Structure 1
Amino acid sequence: MASTPSPSSYIATGGAFERDASYVSDRITKDARRPEHGPVDGDLWPVEPGRYRLIAAAACPWANRTLIVRKLLGLEDVISVGMPGPVHDSRSWSFHLDPDGRDPVLGIERLQDAYFRRFPGYPRGITVPAVVEESTGLLVTNDFPWITHDLFHEWQEFHRPDAPDLWPAELRAEMDEVMERIYTEVNNGVYRCGFAGTQEAYDAAYDRLFTALDWLEERLTDRRYLMGERITEADVRLFTTLARFDAVYHGHFKCNRQKLTEMPVLWAYARDLFQTPGFGETIDFDQIKAHYYVVHSDINPSGIVPKGPDPEAWLTQHGRG
C-alpha cells in the first residue's frame, strides 16, 4: 500500500484502477545466495539476526502479512519491528505514535528518510512493508510478496522449533495458482472497486471480486484452510483482506453485495484464523479504519471514521475445528 497521494492518481485510462507494482527487488537470503524463486534484479543481502528492522504499519494489509508471518515463525527476537501510525500525508508514512514522533531504533520521523538515504529523490510511493538496515538506515527492500516468502525459506535456522510449514513443497504449484488468484481478484480486487473512476470499471471490478469470493466460499466448504488441514502462506494472504472487509471495504470501497459476516463459510474461516495465535493480535481495527477513512479523502472527504462494526464478533465460536 503506497503512501497515498490520492486515489485518483491510481486511476488508469478508462477509469480502471491499476496498481504500481514496481518495487525495490533486493532480497535477503542465507549467505546472500541467489534464491531459487522470485526476482533477483536487485542486490542480495545476507541473513543476519539483529541487522534488519521490519517497518510494517498495522493499518496496511500488505504489511499485516509480514507481522503475521514474523509471529508464526517466531522471529520476533531476530528481526525488530517498527510501526508507523495509520494516518500519513502525501510524503510518507510517519512514526507519529512513537515518543517524539520518531522510530526508536532508526531515529527517523518518516519512512521516506530510509528510502531517500538509499535512493535520493526516490520517485515512487513510499510503501510498507519495508525492511531497513538498522546500522545504516538504508532501505533494503519493499517487495512485499518476497519479504514473507524469504522469512520462511531463508531464515529457517532461526525459526521456532514448532513453526508451521507455510510453503509445503508438495503443494507449491497449486498454492502459487491459488495465491495469484487471491492477489489479483481479492487483495487487489477490493481496491479495483474502491478506486474505480467510472461506473463501468466499478461494475466489472465488483463482479470479479464476488466471483472470486464465491469460489473461496466453495473451496473452503470441505477443507479447514485453503490448502487443506494446515495453515499456509495462502491463508495469511487472504486473511488480511477478510479482516478489513466489513470495517472498510464493504462500505468505503463499495464492495457491498454482502458483508463478510453474511458469507457463512468465509466468516467462520476468518474467525478461525483470527483466533489462531499470530493472527488476531496483529489486527488493530481502530488504526485500519483511521487509515482508510482519513487518508482516502477523495472517497471520504468528510474524514469521518465509522464507529462499527463491533470487533467482539471476531471472538465468537467458528465451528471449524
Structure 2
Amino acid sequence: MRFVDRVTADGADGWPVEAGRYRLVINRACPWANRTVIVRRLMGLDEVISLAVTDPIQELIAGEVHWVFTAETGSPGGLDPVLGVHALRDSYLKRDPDYDGGVSVPGLVDVPSGHLVSNDYDQLTLDFGSEWKRFHREGAPDLYPERQRDEIDSVNEFVYRDVANGVYRSGFAPSQASYDRAVRILFDGLDRLEDRLTRQRYLLGDHVTEADVRLFPTLARFDAVYHGHFKCNVRKLIEYPALWAYARDLFQTPGFGDTTHFDHIRRHYYGVHTAINPTRVVAVGPDPAAWLTPHFREQLGGSPFGDGTPPEPPPAIDRVPVVVPL
C-alpha cells in the first residue's frame, strides 16, 4: 500500500475535507471496498463523497488486469463520467507517472486533479467517521468511540489476521501444508467469534462499531464464494447459529445489506481467479433471500446505532439490486 495520504479537517496532508471534491472508487465484490461504502452510508456522506463502481470483471490491459469502468456500472463509453478515465490505474499514474506497482480498490481520488489520494482502506473508514464530522448526517453513529478503541483495534487485528485474510490464505495456499494451517486458523477464529456473539449482539456489545463493519463483508461472501471457491468448507456460515444470525442482523440494518451486491461478488471471484477456477463457471447459489429471514438478535438487547438513527435509503445512482424475500 503506497498511497496513504489522508483527507483531514485541517488539511495537514494537503487534502482538506471538502464536499464534492473527492470520488470513492470501489468494486462491489471487494470486501475491503465494501467496508468504505458501509461507513460512507452510515455517516450520511453519500452526497458529499461521490461513488464510482468498477466492473466486477477486471480487464486485461498491456498484460495486466485492471479495475475498469464499463456501461454496466454507470460509465457509458467505458469512461467514468466524473474522472474521465477507463481504469483506476489512470488515477494512480496521474499521481505518480512512474508508478509500476499493483492497483487496488478502494481508492479515494481528488476530482479536480484526477490524482489518487489514498488506497489505505483501514484509514479511510476511520477518517470518514472522524475527519468528515461537519458533513455527517444527524444521528450518525460513533463507530470508533474513544473508550473502546483499544478493544476495537484488538478485535480488528484478530479478525483481519485469522478470518478476513485467512480465507485468502486458504484459497491461494501454494501447498497442502500451508492450506491445512490456514484453514485451521480460519475456523478456529470463526469458532471464537461464534462464542463471543452467542453472548452479545455485536462484537463490542450493544451497538455497531468499526469492528462489525470490518467483519461483515467477509461473512457476506463466505457461503457464496469462500466456502467453495476458496475451499473454506469445514463448515458453512449457516452452520454457525450465532454468526449466521449476527450476519443477518447486520444485513438487515441500513448500510450493510443495501451495499452488498451478491451477483458482482460471485461473478468476480469465480470469473477472475482462473488459477483456481480455470473454467470461469460461476456458481449460482446460495439463495440470497435467506439473508432476510428473522434473526431474533434483538432478544440480546442493544440497538445498531445506540442513540443514533439509521441512514436514509441510498440515492438511486448508488443502489444495488434488491433481494427478494422468500
TM-score, normalised to structure 1, is 0.89
- Secondary structure in 2 aligned to 1:230? coil
User: Hey, what's the Cα distance between the residues in 2 that align with 1:122 and 1:196?
Assistant: 28
The reply to whether residue 93 of structure 1 matches residue 67 of structure 2 is yes
Percent of matched pairs sharing the same residue: 57
Q: 1:78 aligns with which of 42, 48, 54?
A: 48
User: Hey, what's the Cα distance between the residues in 1 that align with 2:98 and 2:30?
Assistant: 24
The aligned residue for residue 4 of structure 1 is none
Alpha-carbon contact 1:64-1:282 (below 8 Å) kept: yes
The aligned residue for residue 66 of structure 1 is 36
User: Which residues of 2 match residues 59-208 of structure 1 at below 5 A?
Assistant: 59-89=29-59, 90-96=64-70, 97=72, 98-208=75-185
Q: Name the amino acid aligned to 1:86.
A: P
Question: What displacement does 1:25 show?
Answer: 1.2
User: Hey, what's the Cα distance between the residues in 1 that align with 2:98 and 2:284?
Assistant: 39
The aligned residue for residue 211 of structure 1 is 188
The aligned residue for residue 14 of structure 1 is none
User: Hey, what's the Cα distance between the residues in 2 that align with 1:30 and 1:130?
Assistant: 19
Deviates more, 1:43-52 or 1:159-168: 43-52
Question: What displacement does 1:168 show?
Answer: 1.1
- Secondary structure in 2 aligned to 1:94? coil
* CA RMSD, Structure 1 to Structure 2 (Å): 0.9
Q: Structure 2: 5+ residue runs without aligned partners?
A: 299-326
User: Hey, what's the Cα distance between the residues in 2 that align with 1:122 and 1:205?
Assistant: 32
User: Hey, what's the Cα distance between the residues in 2 that align with 1:270 and 1:23?
Assistant: 32
The aligned residue for residue 313 of structure 1 is 290
The aligned residue for residue 25 of structure 2 is 55
Q: Structure 1: 5+ residue runs without aligned partners?
A: 1-21, 34-42
Alpha-carbon contact 1:51-1:135 (below 8 Å) kept: yes
- Secondary structure in 1 aligned to 2:229? coil
- Secondary structure in 2 aligned to 1:250? helix
Q: 1:273 aligns with which of 230, 250, 263?
A: 250
The aligned residue for residue 24 of structure 1 is 3
Alpha-carbon contact 1:91-1:112 (below 8 Å) kept: no
Moved over 2 A (4+): none
Q: Name the amino acid aligned to 1:32.
A: G
- Secondary structure in 1 aligned to 2:46? coil
Alpha-carbon contact 1:70-1:76 (below 8 Å) kept: yes
- Secondary structure in 1 aligned to 2:233? coil
The aligned residue for residue 222 of structure 1 is 199
Q: Name the amino acid aligned to 1:78.
A: V
Q: Name the amino acid aligned to 1:57.
A: N
- Secondary structure in 1 aligned to 2:198? coil
TM-score, normalised to structure 2, is 0.88
Residue deviations 1:184-209 (CA, integer Å, cap 9, x gap): 11110000000100000000000100
Question: What displacement does 1:100 show?
Answer: 1.1
The aligned residue for residue 302 of structure 2 is none
